[in-house]
Amino acid sequence: MGPINNYNMHKSILILGACGQIGTELTLALRERYGNQQVIASDIREGSAQLMASGPFEMLDATNYGALEDVVMHYEIEEVYLMAAMLSATAEKFPMRAWNLNMNSLFNVLNLAKDKKIGKVFWPSSIAVFGPNTPKENTPQHTIMEPSTVYGVSKQSGERWCDYYHKKFGVDVRSIRYPGLISWKTAPGGGTTDFAVDIYIQAIKEGKYSCFVSEETRLPMMYMDDAIRATLAIMDADAEQIRVRSSYNLAAMSFSPADMAASIREHIPGFSIDYEPDFRQAIADSWPSSIDDSEAQKDWGWSPEFDLEKTTREMLTNLK
């Protein structure tokens, strides 16, 4: 007998931006749960060999409404995970491209849901919705936001649109404000928190790292396994449990590059780090240091499993 669970094993799921840092692991996790043929990966480029070989793939630009609708109708898609986005550091270089990608892809998916062509939507927000006037420690769910980056502005606007489509049209959209994500399967690209992955790669390769934010820059972070668990959990929850339809604060741990270096030295004693802050320092300085995620804990049972020590062990073991 197979595993007993309450999941609808026959629903078709589409991942937009499946080849990115989160998309890759999310696609593999969903395929593991629902079966390879039920989970359609899509992106504007091909992804890892494992992702490409394990199930259907469509070359798809999430900003192209007609092409997206064709794929949705062809596979009779019920759920969409919209993971395509331009992240904070790259978005500062290409503001209009970032705005077009981040907003138009969201409108396309929300409009498909409004027209009942899909049933449920996951859309990721970020700690980037907060800004320099936000309380830095234990940042509450509801507080001053005022993001100072293009990416943050797009995420805050997206949150308001998600809430609007839910209230006005009954769209079942669910969202999480991801902190910086740490993973070894697929490299991040264009984010301010990318140093938290690079540091492990360089520690193994070179035994040293030059960090683009200062040693005391403390940011909220999460190991990818926790992020995937949270994503599946919020999508599994009953609709009534999801009381926040903009996006939920989500937390696991907070640390600085100096804390990371100390944690790496437990395994690689000679590891050295120096600091050469660039334009990403100002972005990091505008974000919270720690997040209060009590609403996610209360509403849909969120609880993280990875701290810095466990994350370092997993990263160094798997990257080797």
For ligand AKB, the closer of residues 158 and 191 by Cβ is: 191
Q: Which of 102, 105, 108, 126 binds ligand AKB (CB under 6 A)?
A: 126
The catalytically annotated residue of 34, 65, 81, 151 is 151
| Strands ordered across the beta sheet of 57-59 | 57-59, 39-43, 13-16, 79-82, 120-126, 172-178, 248-249
According to the binding rule CB under 6 A, does residue 130 interact with ligand AKB? no
For ligand AKB, the closer of residues 31 and 218 by Cβ is: 218
- Report d(CA 229, CA 125) in Å as an integer: 16
According to the binding rule CB under 6 A, does residue 87 interact with ligand AKB? yes
CB of 224 to ligand AKB, least distance (A): 12
Q: Which of 20, 23, 131, 191 binds ligand AKB (CB under 6 A)?
A: 191
CB of 21 to ligand AKB, least distance (A): 8
- Report d(CA 111, CA 106) in Å as an integer: 8
Q: How far apart are the first and last CA of the chain?
A: 37
Is-contact 43 101, C-beta < 8 A?
Answer: no
For ligand AKB, the closer of residues 165 and 178 by Cβ is: 178
Q: Which of residues 222-281 bind ligand AKB (CB under 6 A)?
A: none
* x/- map, 28-67, ligand AKB, by CB under 6 A: ----------------------------------------
For ligand AKB, the closer of residues 47 and 180 by Cβ is: 180
Q: Which of residues 141-170 bind ligand AKB (CB under 6 A)?
A: 151
Question: 255: closest CA among 205, 188, 309?
Answer: 309
Number of residues that bind ligand AKB (CB under 6 A): 11
Active-site residue, 151 included = yes
Q: List Cα–Cα distances, 285 to 98, 111, 246, 255, 275, in angstroms.
A: 21, 35, 24, 13, 15
According to the binding rule CB under 6 A, does residue 23 interact with ligand AKB? no
CB of 306 to ligand AKB, least distance (A): 16
- Report d(CA 20, CA 85) in Å as an integer: 9
DSSP readout, 108-136? HHHHHHHTTS-SEEEEEEEGGG--TTS-S
For ligand AKB, the closer of residues 193 and 290 by Cβ is: 193
| Strands ordered across the beta sheet of 219-223 | 180-182, 219-223, 253-255
Q: Which residue is nearest to ligand AKB (CB)?
A: 191
Q: What is residue 105's three-state secondary structure? A: helix
According to the binding rule CB under 6 A, does residue 213 interact with ligand AKB? no
Tokens at 202, concatenated: 């360089």
According to the binding rule CB under 6 A, does residue 176 interact with ligand AKB? no
According to the binding rule CB under 6 A, does residue 211 interact with ligand AKB? no
Question: 175: closest CA among 43, 80, 268?
Answer: 80
At residue 9, φ and ψ (nearest 5 deg) are -75, -5
According to the binding rule CB under 6 A, does residue 88 interact with ligand AKB? yes
Mind telling me the catalytic residues?
A: 151
Residues that bind ligand AKB (CB under 6 A): 87-88, 126-128, 151, 178, 180, 191-193
